[in-house]
Amino acid sequence: MRATVMFGAGDVRIENIPDATIIEPSDAVVAVSRACICGSDLWPYKTMEHSDSGRRMGHEAIGVVEVVGADVRAVKVGDLVVLPFAYSDGTCVFCHEGLPTSCVHGGFFGTGVMDGAQAEAMRVPQADGTLFVLPVGKDDALMPSLLTLSDVMGTGHHAAVAAKVAPGKTVAVVGDGAVGLCGVIAARRLGAEQIIILGRHAGRIALAREFGATDVVSRRGEEAVERVRALTGGFGAHSVLECVGLEQSMLTAIGIARPGGAIGRVGVPQDESMPASLPAFYNNITVSGGPAPVRAYIEELLPDILEGRIEPGRVFDKVARLDEVPDGYRAMNERDAIKVMVEI
């Protein structure tokens, strides 16, 4: 079968590899019909050291269950399923607490150890706890939005939950990538009154406005902080969604948070230490967030997609076939595309 393998920075290839198979009785093999390229795939695309064996890529997918192991009960061959970016058993203490990304039998796809989703098929561990059976057909027009339940919509929602977004609150979203845009959807969905998007790309800003952003700040650094303060009566935002993960974006997030406010961070931090610790302390700012437990959010978000209340699939502005995936990485890395959907 064919799969996406990264061999080093800027070196993504479609390779012929051995077919995905069942290894553990709790596994399933899923034939991938749609996958994505993620902003987080761009970090290794920029920095990965050369590897002769390479790393399987991709962690977002919709597909059809092709084979199930002997212990699998909740999914069956032929089911159309959405795959969260992390696998989980659905039964341990953390899964019961709504944090499947900390599952004691869990892990992450497309990290080098596990199969990746930018492929014709993949092995899915803990199939019963991981896969979510979709109540639609494979060609349903809602497919792009359903695909965002794998990661970006659940991640934007997690940022909003961690930032304590609630009706009537003022929200600021740092980052105009797919997660930031889904964060705007999530903030509106949770009843925010004012939603300020920080970003500079005209097409992304336009989409953010359609998703519910009420204000746009296109400046950076200290100027951005001043502008957000001016828009919020001088106080800052109750809730800040940090959807980038760089030192500068975290500095901005802390700078624009209102005293007593909360930051939900979902951009994978690229630094060991957290910047602006002192202002965060003196302003009593809660800094929360982490890898989104997207599996736990699917049931809550799915009805809004099925009934057309939210359309997160609009973040896909480029479609690629599997053999076009390397060009998809280039397009996202050069910010020619917000997010690439892969049709397999």
Binding residues among 259-298 for Zn ion as defined by CB under 5 A: none
Question: According to the binding rule CB under 5 A, does residue 131 interact with Zn ion?
Answer: no
Ordered DSSP codes for 251-272: HHHHHHEEEEEEEEE-SPPSSS
Considering only 92, 153, 301, 322, the residue that binds Zn ion (CB under 5 A) is 92
Task: State which residue, 103 or 196, has the beta carbon closest to Zn ion.
Answer: 103
Cα R_g (the chain), whole angstroms: 20
Task: State which residue, 51 or 102, has the beta carbon closest to Zn ion.
Answer: 102
Stretch that binds Zn ion, among 103-111, 220-228, 234-242, 302-310 (CB under 5 A): 103-111
Counting DSSP H helices and E strands in the chain, the numbers are 12, 18
Considering only 4, 33, 40, 88, the residue that binds Zn ion (CB under 5 A) is 88
Task: State which residue, 100 or 267, has the beta carbon closest to Zn ion.
Answer: 100
Question: According to the binding rule CB under 5 A, does residue 119 interact with Zn ion?
Answer: no
Q: How far is the CB of 328 from Zn ion (least distance, A)?
A: 32
* CA gap 232, 261 in Å, rounded: 13
Task: State which residue, 92 or 332, has the beta carbon closest to Zn ion.
Answer: 92
Distances (CA, A) of 273 to 6, 43, 270: 28, 18, 9
Task: State which residue, 90 or 183, has the beta carbon closest to Zn ion.
Answer: 90
* CA gap 110, 119 in Å, rounded: 10
Considering only 27, 41, 89, 151, the residue that binds Zn ion (CB under 5 A) is 89
Task: Name the residue among 106, 100, 85, 87 with its Cα closest to residue 37.
Answer: 85
Stretch that binds Zn ion, among 20-28, 81-89, 115-123, 322-330 (CB under 5 A): 81-89
Question: According to the binding rule CB under 5 A, does residue 99 interact with Zn ion?
Answer: no
Question: According to the binding rule CB under 5 A, does residue 103 interact with Zn ion?
Answer: yes
Q: Is 172 exposed, middle or buried (0-12, 13-18, 19+ CB in 10 A)?
A: buried
* CA gap 199, 219 in Å, rounded: 8
Question: According to the binding rule CB under 5 A, does residue 95 interact with Zn ion?
Answer: yes
SS3 assignment, position 43: helix
Question: According to the binding rule CB under 5 A, does residue 127 interact with Zn ion?
Answer: no
Q: How far is the CB of 95 from Zn ion (least distance, A)?
A: 3
Stretch that binds Zn ion, among 55-63, 90-98, 144-152, 279-287 (CB under 5 A): 90-98
SS3 assignment, position 240: strand
Residues in contact with Zn ion, counted by CB under 5 A, come to a total of 5
Q: How far is the CB of 266 from Zn ion (least distance, A)?
A: 21
* CA gap 87, 329 in Å, rounded: 24
Q: How far is the CB of 147 from Zn ion (least distance, A)?
A: 24
Task: State which residue, 114 or 344, has the beta carbon closest to Zn ion.
Answer: 114
Ordered DSSP codes for 112-142: SSS--SSBSEEEESSHHHH-EE-SS-TT-TT
* CA gap 282, 287 in Å, rounded: 13
Contact residues toward Zn ion (CB under 5 A) are: 88-89, 92, 95, 103
